[in-house]
Amino acid sequence: MSNLKMKEAALIYLDRSGGLQKFIDNCKSYSDSKQSYAVYRFSILVNPSDIIELDAELGNHILHQPLKAAQVFQSINILLKLTHLPPLPSYSLDLCEFPLDYTSQRFYMMQGIVIAMTTVTKYTQGARFLCSDEACPLSKGFQYIRVHVPGATESATIRNDFLCNLCSSSLQEDRKFRVLGDKQIVEIITTKALRAFQGYSNNQPFRFQSLTVFLRDELVNEMNIGNEYKIIGIPTCVKTSQTALCIEANSITFFNPKVPSGISDNFRCLLSLTSSSYWKFTAILANIFASQIVPPGTYNLLKLCLLMSLVQTSDRNKELEDCLDLLIITSDILLVDRLLNFSINLVPRGIRHPVSTEIFPTLSRNKYGTGAVSIQGGSALLAKGGICFIGDLASHKKDKLEQLQSAVESRSITVYISGKKFGDDMDQQMTFPVQCSFWSFVDMDSSSRRNVQKTNTLIGQMDCSLIPANLIEAFGLLINCNESSPCHPLLPTVQHTLKKAIDPEGLLYVASKQFTTEDFEKLLAFAKNLNVEFSLEAERMIHGYYLASRRIRTDSICGSKLSASALKYLVSLSEAHARLNLRNKVLKEDVLIAALLFETSLTLKYGAAVLCVAPNAVFPFELYNEEYLEQRDIYLTQCQQQLQQFIATYGPGTAIFASDE
């Protein structure tokens, strides 16, 4: 096909797609501008499917020779922006495969998670050069125009060793015609690399390497650390201090995973059998959860809280405001560590923070010598929409704990960039949202060895003197798991450990065979995507409980011990219990579980109050059979009546409330 026919096909496509009118409008804007340009840059949106249907040869030219194809549309600086690529294996670039094809200079589609990004800097889109010999005819006009092409470095566009084709004199740049654009560099990793942060690698060593992506002009600031994207771009080899494979991005789309359509048949049957009760389904879930790690019936309170925190995660591109942070006080850190590590593997963004790395963003110099500052995301931003398990709090230094407290309270982290340190004219600061739930634990035995325990003066209060008080307050739930607590029967755990030592891969319980790990993954994936709303009576109950608790836990010296964030945690807990029940509406029965969990946490922090809740209020009986589930329902119904009486006595509208509250 001749070049002329290709240009005709390109003109027809532009006319049909509306690109020609946009091209004309851009020309008018350039014409109306008072600024002189050496290069006029135009961006044309191209749908490969449409253009292949119109002219297969032109479509093939665009997909496989994009740099030459741009010249078909014009002789000026045109950038072809692709909407998508054909869904064929040859157009996909798998970051796990080697070798990567970087010599063909054509479009590929790749997918990855952003782990680092630089600040925005300038690059040269185009420049005008003139012959240095004034007698030469090419010392005037626009004969020597250099424009940026994908994969080119700044030195390829702007250099001082260009020669005139006519007289061989050196060329000099006419700086007043230089056109600048914005540039940003990001680093992505494949989703498969996340298993390096999830604690389980099947005892097989592996490594992963990030891939550098160049964003230019309208694509700058379109990617955020922690998000997953589909990127269409051209692979290229960039030579700086070392040779590196990079991608020149052409278009970017946010990756939204498919929402699961349902749950397993066994869970569907269980849900049907327990439909007469508001609490049985979640009780059984907690009872049988993680039977590969702990025997059924143990750690039920902790397992329920873990499941509720997991259903509050999100794979979608939305603000994660309903985080459920968990802080566990335990004397068996090995078992709790295994249980938490097992749990984070059930969601796509469950990240176990490596001790050798940073939780929050850090700064470094960009390795490509662009003068930009590289911001490394850290575990918290990598866990966006999921869980960041940071291990034992005692393993973190004081300054890191203060940073953690600030991030949990404000749900954001601010990075300060010193202009003096990184060679910039002025200081900068960038704020990143922290959209994950934090899990951590504290070793009780470690506390006792340090002989710093104090005598508790309040009933039910835990000695948490080793943990900063503000950090304890920042965590939504404080959970007690030790030998003396009802959630830790010792004998079944010992038997389980011995059996696992004999048969590590064996399924020891019937529940493990009926409800597999994959079933729980599917259940959580479905539940967390449910859109829930509050019923009127649930909304009244949650506000009534919050105001009543705030009132009774207020003193004249320190004020209220309940912060404004307490209401958010109560709402999040109620939503989580409704989601775990696979309901779209939050009922007062969900608020009851939220209130019992929250009041238990408050008792551990500050001691018992008027609403005296037992440590095992959520699981007052060991769940052996249907009879015990019925007894639990009766007990929880009594608790609900007590909660309503508590709200009626101390809540809004009662005489004990001051007018300002």
Average pLDDT of the segment spanning 208-221: 87
Region 1-83: CATH code: 3.30.1640
Q: Are strands 179-189 and 362-365 parallel, antiparallel or unpaired?
A: unpaired
**For residues 483 and 489, what is the distance between their CA atoms, to the nearest angstrom?**
7
Higher-confidence residue of 554 and 646: namely 646
Render 106-122 in DSSP notation, one character per residue. --EEEEEEEEEEEPPEE
For 38-47, write each residue's pLDDT tens digit: 677 777 788 8
When mean pLDDT is compared across 84-98, 516-530, 636-650, the lowest value belongs to 84-98
**For residues 444 and 482, what is the distance between their CA atoms, to the nearest angstrom?**
8
**For residues 661 and 547, what is the distance between their CA atoms, to the nearest angstrom?**
8
Q: What pLDDT does residue 642 have?
A: 92
Average pLDDT of the segment spanning 239-257: 81
Higher-confidence residue of 241 and 424: namely 424
pLDDT higher than threshold 90 for residue 343: yes
Q: Residues of the chain with pLDDT > 70: what percent?
A: 82
> At 78, is the secondary structure helix, strand, or coil?
strand
Q: Which residues pair with 117 in a beta bridge?
A: 186, 375
Q: Is the peptide bond before 99 cis (omega within 30 degrees of 0)?
A: yes
Residue 224 identity? N
**Other beta carbons less than 10 A from residue 1's beta carbon:** 12
Going from N- to C-terminal start, the domains of the chain cover 1-83, 276-350+442-648
Q: How confident is the model at residue 371 (pLDDT cuts 50, 70, 90)?
A: low
Average pLDDT of the segment spanning 393-400: 86
When mean pLDDT is compared across 222-226, 261-265, 522-526, 555-559, the lowest value belongs to 555-559
Question: Tokens representing 333?
Answer: 């850190």
Average pLDDT of the segment spanning 239-254: 80
pLDDT higher than threshold 70 for residue 27: yes
Gap between the terminal Cα atoms of the chain: 80
At a CB cut-off of 8 Å and minimum separation 6, what does 211 contact? Answer: 95, 110, 112, 187, 188, 189, 245, 246, 247
For 460-493, write each residue's pLDDT tens digit: 566 666 677 788 888 889 998 865 445 555 666 6
For 306-328, write each residue's pLDDT tens digit: 999 999 998 766 565 678 999 99
Q: How confident is the model at residue 160 (pLDDT cuts 50, 70, 90)?
A: confident
Question: Tokens representing 59?
Answer: 């479509």
| CA-based radius of gyration for the chain | 31
Q: How confident is the model at residue 448 (pLDDT cuts 50, 70, 90)?
A: very low
**63, 398, 543 from 450: Cα distances, Å:** 67, 17, 41
Q: How confident is the model at residue 524 (pLDDT cuts 50, 70, 90)?
A: very high
pLDDT higher than threshold 70 for residue 226: yes
For 192-210, write each residue's pLDDT tens digit: 888 777 765 444 555 667 8
Average pLDDT of the segment spanning 495-500: 66
Higher-confidence residue of 541 and 195: namely 541
pTM value is 0.86
Choose from 107-116, 172-181, 196-205, 502-511 the range with maximum mean pLDDT: 107-116
For 125-148, write each residue's pLDDT tens digit: 888 888 888 888 888 887 788 887
Q: What pLDDT does residue 242 have?
A: 64
Q: What pLDDT does residue 157 have?
A: 77
At a CB cut-off of 8 Å and minimum separation 6, what does 473 contact? Answer: 563, 605
Q: What pLDDT does residue 234 have?
A: 87
Q: What pLDDT does residue 370 have?
A: 63
**For residues 324 and 435, what is the distance between their CA atoms, to the nearest angstrom?**
11
Strands (E), 501-540: 533-534
When mean pLDDT is compared across 11-20, 146-155, 536-545, 634-643, the lowest value belongs to 146-155
When mean pLDDT is compared across 8-22, 72-86, 280-294, 573-587, the lowest value belongs to 72-86
pLDDT higher than threshold 90 for residue 654: no
* CATH topology for the 276-350+442-648 domain: Rossmann fold (3.40.50)
Mean pLDDT of the chain, nearest integer: 82
Strands (E), 465-543: 477-481, 533-534
Q: Are strands 437-443 and 326-330 parallel, antiparallel or unpaired?
A: parallel
For 555-604, write each residue's pLDDT tens digit: 766 666 777 788 889 999 999 999 999 999 999 999 999 999 999 988 88
CA atoms 109, 114, 120, 121: torsion sign: negative
When mean pLDDT is compared across 311-315, 408-412, 440-444, 491-495, the lowest value belongs to 491-495
Higher-confidence residue of 295 and 232: namely 232
**Other beta carbons less than 10 A from residue 324's beta carbon:** 25
